[in-house]
């Protein structure tokens, strides 16, 4: 009887959620044929998942990643965004990248905004002209860096 009472919950939050995620994955790949978009089948793309990749660029999403709600990623032409395995974005995350962004495995609870080049936490405390941003990429979430759930 208990399993029967849980059936509506399972239908909505397990089966329907996975089905909707698969549709979002397919839509992202089909609307970005000009870009290299790779999304692992085990990745969960929640409501509000969106991409804006107007030119040739690269997006790689690893195994078991979760983009739970309102994730948006904008990649400029020539940009590269890579998520290793087991990355979780809880809600309302925005990524805008013109160079490259690599997020290491098991990074959790990120709310990110990066635009125009590499950013670091100390640069955000200075006004924009004083930041002197390098044109290299950013790599939050590498194991051992203190940014992960290790």
pLDDT of residue 3: 87
Please give the model's pTM, rounded to 2 decimal places. 0.73
122 pLDDT higher than 50: no
Nearest partner of 53 among 111, 114, 98, judged by Cα = 98
Per-residue pLDDT, averaged over 24-43, amounts to 97
3-state secondary structure of 61: strand
Asked whether the beta carbons of 149 and 106 are under 8 A apart, the reply is yes
pLDDT of residue 148: 39
∠ CA 32-18-113, nearest 5°, is 50
Mean pLDDT score of the chain: 81
Q: What pLDDT, in 10s, does the model give residues 69-114?
A: 999 999 999 999 999 999 999 888 899 998 899 998 888 765 555 5
Residue 75 CA from chain centroid, whole number:
11
3-state secondary structure of 39: strand
116 pLDDT higher than 70: no
Site of tokens 């107007």: 54
């Amino acid at each position: 009887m208990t399993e029967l009472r849980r059936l509506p919950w399972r239908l909505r939050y397990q089966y329907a959620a996975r089905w909707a995620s698969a549709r979002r994955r397919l839509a992202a790949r089909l609307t970005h044929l000009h870009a290299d978009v790779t999304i692992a089948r085990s990745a969960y793309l929640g409501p509000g998942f969106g991409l804006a990749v107007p030119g040739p660029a690269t997006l790689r999403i690893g195994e078991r990643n979760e983009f739970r709600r309102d994730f948006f990623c904008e990649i400029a032409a020539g940009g590269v965004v890579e998520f290793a395995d087991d990355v979780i974005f809880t809600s309302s995350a925005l990524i805008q990248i013109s160079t490259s962004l690599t997020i290491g495995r098991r990074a959790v609870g990120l709310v990110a905004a990066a635009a125009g080049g590499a950013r670091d936490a100390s640069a955000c405390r200075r006004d924009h002209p004083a930041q002197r941003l390098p044109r290299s990429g950013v790599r939050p979430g590498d194991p051992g860096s203190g940014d992960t759930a290790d």
